[in-house]
A and B are shown apart, each in its own frame.
Chain A
Amino acid sequence: MARTLIRRIGYGLIAVLGVAILAFILEFVVPGDPARAIAPRAGSAEVLRNIRLQLHLNQPLAVQFADYFAGLLHGNLGTSYVQRQPVATLIGQRLAATGWLALAGVAAEVVIGGALGLAATVFRRVRVAVSAVNLVLLAIPQFVVGLVLLLVFGFQLHAAPVTGGAGAAQIVLPALTLGLVGAPWYAQIVADQMQDSLASAYVRTAVAKGLTDRYILRRHVLRNVLSPAITMVGLDLGAYLSGVVTVEVVFGWPGIGQLAVSSLQNLDRPVIMGTVIVGAVAVVAFNLLADLVRMQVDPRTRMDAA
């Protein structure tokens, strides 16, 4: 068990490092000059030269690479070209906001998707309706869902705050957006697993034992449905923690997604790298966490631990 865990963490670190190296190289392939992005519009050649010197942009790629990864090993993510603050600080300020949004978004997905999936299997009559809802939600782009929610609940009904800050009230609409867009996937998984489970021999055994339908659903079916859903929760949490760009932009949510967008616009390389690395760590960590939880829920997945 412990050995499996250590091995998984090792693989995770390698994956993060790989992503970081790839991102670093891509930054140089992408056309654009950070100095120009930072310098005032009418900056002279002199100003540009100074900026490059200051940011070590004139160094050979190999040296910049070595410098960056040496810093990274010491936990130093560098300093933003634009804001002149440590990248770690910038990300730290926004991590909480993104974290809450990710959690709330996944919770909304699970609740909405789970409900749709359950409805589709338990009440056969609504199955077609649920499929239609799923299809519509899948087809509409995230930002459209966000805008519609904003229009309806924010501007028309004034039921939710429209913009500004990362408060408890402000989180409702962005989380709902994530939830609606992600729900069809959960609905599908839940419906498929439920159907498999309901048709299974072990449910037939439970029926033969004279257990009530509700009990069978709760004790025998749902637990077998959980396992794949947990994997998906892990994947989503990881992905959302690396920034939910569209939703954050639409709702003005001060999270890592917005930071990533502005850093890309400014070619603020250290910040780009920082968001990429934090995202990769999140994906790896939540994947691992999901697998650990899954082992608790489904004993069959514990096999390799021997």
Chain B
Amino acid sequence: MTGPAGAGQAAGAAGPAATAGSTAQAGSPGPAGGPALDIAGLRVSYGPARAVRDASLRVAPGQVVALIGETGSGKSSLALAAARLLPGSAEISGRVSIAGHDITALGAAEFRRRRAALIGYIAQDAMAALNPVMPVGRQVGELFRAHRGLGRRAAADQAAEALARMRIPRPGAVARLFPHQLSGGMRQRVMIAMAVALSPPLLIADEPTTALDVSTQAEILGLVGELRAGSGSGILWITHDMGVVAELADWVAVMYAGRIVEQGPVTAIFDQPAHPYTEGLLRTRADLRGGRPGTPLFQVAGSPPAPGAVPPGCAFAPRCPRASAICTTAEPQLALVRGQQEAACHHPALSPPGESRPPARGPAGPAGPAALSEPASPAASAGSADHASRAESPS
């Protein structure tokens, strides 16, 4: 990670990509300049429920940005708004640019013609997101027919090739199958094949592995790893799983109650989470992995506010172990904490909390970090007992 961090509100959002050298592919439309995705001041509401409250985010070409959050945090609304896929009932404001094109300014017809070449969208539930009564090959081929003007035969050939690039065995035969005849992993590969078919500069993946087995997830992550290496597309990857983030992301943005509350390079976030919510998620994850069997897990007590009932001040304050008086009155703004890392917190963790570093595991883990985790466990357990009693005792 090199390069200066922008200090501006939106500009500071995106650090240079890990694969900063790679540029957008030749096939990408429009000027290659500009970030793959640049969201500024985005707000989305459904009536009184404010799903996204002033979010700004950038994805550089070739960069994987993980957007983390729990159900109702607004991460899916943000992703759908970025892809201009929200229903008409949603009120949206703010600016979204993709590879230098301000898509919020494009007319509907113009955007429809260009969207598949600008954004690849990968849905969470591939079973629902694929048409049940159309062979998957035709669903991929449609893209080539609609946007490349290919005939039926040529489109079918291209579709089979696209499936083959997703490492689908016997792509010609699989192309003739219907979604329900494929396994979950295969269906998700078909989804990805469609998303990358026209080599768009931006991929938006909305929890694409959440519904899959760990082993199928591993496979999809491997595939995305290859894709990233082979194309210059920026990827916005929505998830609630810190493990997926650790595997895939260059940059992490954490969303809570409609706002981005922390963001930064993935290593910085994992090593020194500044926001207590991020810290809680990481500690839970680490405890799940390294804690002693049968002992309580570290947990973030309570639950997030409903989108229509966000409390004044910091939305996380009611669940926060570090909350003070100011947290319930003034809403903290994103501010640089260290390096390129930003957090919206009145009491960010400024020094590296040793215990938040997750223990190493498995064959890849050197012995060193594993040893580091030793002192973590008792602390985590104690913390969790504390939280658990708060969560479970009838008040």
| A and B: interacting chains | yes
Of B123, B131, B143, B191, which one neighbours A224 at CB under 8 angstroms? Answer: B131
Identity of the chain A residue whose Cβ is nearest the Cβ of B197 in the assembled complex: A209
Contact indicator per residue, chain A 264-306, by CB within 8 Å of chain B (1) or not (0): 0000000000000000000000000000000001111001000
- Decide: A209 and B194 in contact? CB cutoff 8 A: yes
Once the chains are docked, how many angstroms separate the CA of A223 from the CA of B180? 16
185-226 of chain A: CB within 8 A of chain B: 200-202, 204-212, 215, 219-220, 223-224
- Shortest B181–chain A CB gap in Å is 8
User: For A207, what are the chain B residues with a Cβ–Cβ distance below 8 Å?
Assistant: 85
Inter-chain contact B119/A208, CB cutoff 8 Å: yes
Within 8 A of B (CB), among A94-145: none
Which of B115, B130, B131, B180 has a CB less than 8 Å from the CB of A208? Answer: B115
- B308 in the interface, Cβ–Cβ < 8 Å? no
A202-B129, A208-B115, A211-B146 are contacts. A219–B123 as well, Cβ < 8 Å? no
Q: Chain B nearest CB: distance from A219 CB in Å?
A: 7
- Among B113, B119, B123, B131, chain A packs the most CB atoms within 10 A around the CB of B131
How far is B134's CA from A297's CA once the two chains are assembled, in angstroms? 9
Distance (whole angstroms) from the CB of B183 to the closest CB of chain A: 15
Closest to B128 in A: A201
Query: Is the interface on chain A under 10, 10 to 19, 20 to 34, or 35 or more residues?
Result: 20 to 34
B292 part of interface (Cβ distance < 8 Å): no
Please indicate the chain B residues that have their CB under 8 angstroms from the CB of A215 in the complex: 146
Instruction: Give the complex CA separation of A210 and B117 in angstroms.
Output: 9
Chain A residues within 8 Å of B131, by CB: 202, 205-206, 220, 223-224
Question: What B residues does A303 contact at CB under 8 A?
Answer: 180
The residues of B that contact A202 with a CB separation of less than 8 Å are 128-132
- Residue in A209, A211, A212, A297 whose beta carbon sits within 8 Å of that of B133 in the complex: A297
What is the chain A residue whose CB lies nearest that of B115? A210
Q: Point out the residues of chain A lying under 8 angstroms from B130, CB to CB.
A: 202, 205
Interface residue from B123, B181, B194 paired with A204 (Cβ < 8 Å): B123
**B residues near A220, Cβ cutoff 8 Å:** 131, 134
Report whether B123 and A205 are in contact in the complex, using a CB–CB cutoff of 8 Å. Answer: yes
Residues of chain B with a CB closer than 8 A to A223's CB: 131, 133-134
The residues of A that contact B117 with a CB separation of less than 8 Å are 210
The complex places the Cα of A280 from the Cα of B113 at a distance, in Å, of: 54
CB of A210 within 8 A of CB of B114, answer yes
The residues of A that contact B191 with a CB separation of less than 8 Å are 205
Residue B83 at the chain A interface, CB threshold 8 Å: yes
CA distance A223 to B133 in the complex (A): 7
Listed residue (A207, A208, A224, A227) with the most chain B CB atoms within 10 angstroms of its CB: A208
Q: Are A210 and B132 touching (Cβ within 8 A)?
A: no
Report B-chain residues with C-beta under 8 Å of the C-beta of A205.
121, 123, 129-131, 191, 194
Within B163-195, the residues touching A (CB, 8 Å) are: 178, 180-181, 191, 194
Contact B83 A210 (CB under 8 A): no
Interface status of B279 (Cβ within 8 A of chain A): no
A135 to B83 alpha-carbon distance, docked (Å) = 40
Tally the A-B contacts, defined by beta carbons under 8 Å. 72
Mark interface residues in B135-149 (1 if CB within 8 Å of A CB, else 0): 000000011001100
Select one of A200, A212, A300 contacting B112, CB under 8 A: A212
User: How distant is B130 from chain A, measured CB to nearest CB, in Å?
Assistant: 6
Docked pose: A210 CA to B116 CA in angstroms: 5
The answer to whether A209 and B143 touch (CB under 8 A), given A201-B125, A201-B129, is yes
Q: How many residues of B contact A (CB 8 A)?
A: 28
The interface bits of chain B over 291-321 (1 if a CB of A lies within 8 angstroms of the residue's CB, else 0) are 0000000000000000000000000000000
Asked if residues A224 and B132 are in contact (CB atoms below 8 Å), the reply is yes
Say yes or no: B132 contacts A201, CB within 8 Å: no
Q: Which chain B residue shows the least CB distance to A215?
A: B146
Given contacts A299-B180, A300-B133, contact A209 B128 (CB under 8 A): no
Q: In the complex, are the beta carbons of B85 and A204 less than 8 A apart?
A: yes
Cα of A211 to Cα of B141 in the assembled complex, Å: 12
Please measure, in the bound complex, the distance between the C-alpha atom of A300 and the C-alpha atom of B179, giving whole angstroms: 9
A305 CB to nearest chain B CB (Å): 12
Contacts of A204 in B (CB 8 A): 85, 123, 129
The distance from the CB of A268 to the nearest CB of chain B, in whole angstroms, is 48
Is A208 a contact of B146 with CB atoms below 8 Å? no
Question: Do A208 and B134 touch across chains, with their CB atoms under 8 A apart?
Answer: no
Please determine whether A208 and B133 come into contact, CB atoms closer than 8 angstroms. no
Quick one: which of B84-116 are within 8 Å of A by CB? 85, 112-116
A232 CA to B341 CA, complexed, in Å: 61
- Complex CA gap A210/B128 in Å reads 18
Residue of chain B at shortest CB distance from A227 = B133
Complex interface: chain A residues within 8 A of B142 (CB):
206, 209, 211, 219
Q: How far is the CB of B364 from chain A (nearest CB, A)?
A: 36
Is B129 a contact of A299 with CB atoms below 8 Å? no
Q: Smallest CB–CB gap between A46 and chain B, Å?
A: 70
B191 to chain A, nearest CB (A): 8
The answer to whether B133 and A298 have CB atoms under 8 Å apart is yes
Given contacts A202-B130, A224-B133, contact A208 B121 (CB under 8 A): yes
Interface centre among A205, A211, A215, A299 (most CB of B within 10 A): A205
Pick the residue among B123, B147, B180 that contacts A210 (CB under 8 A): B147
0 or 1 for each of B251-279: is its CB under 8 Å from A? (1 = yes): 00000000000000000000000000000
Bound complex: CA A210 to CA B121 (Å): 11
Give the contacts of A140-195 with B (CB-CB under 8 A).
Answer: none
Asked if A299 meets B123 with Cβ closer than 8 Å, knowing A208-B116, A209-B194, A210-B112, the reply is no
A201-B123 CB under 8 A given contacts A208-B85, A210-B147? yes
A211, B114: Cα distance in complex, Å = 10
Give CA–CA (A298, B132) in the complex, Å. 8
Instruction: List 16 other contacts, CB 8 Å, given A208-B116, A208-B121.
Output: A201-B123, A202-B131, A205-B130, A205-B131, A208-B83, A209-B142, A209-B143, A209-B194, A211-B142, A220-B131, A223-B131, A223-B133, A223-B134, A224-B133, A298-B132, A299-B133
Interface residues of chain B, those whose CB is within 8 Å of chain A, are 83, 85, 112-117, 119, 121, 123, 125, 128-134, 142-143, 146-147, 178, 180-181, 191, 194
12 A–B pairs (Cβ distance < 8 Å), ordered by A: A202-B129, A206-B131, A208-B119, A209-B142, A209-B194, A210-B113, A210-B115, A210-B117, A211-B146, A223-B133, A224-B131, A300-B132
Q: List the 8 closest pairs (A to B, CB-CB), nearest first.
A: A210-B116, A201-B128, A208-B121, A201-B129, A299-B178, A202-B131, A210-B115, A205-B129
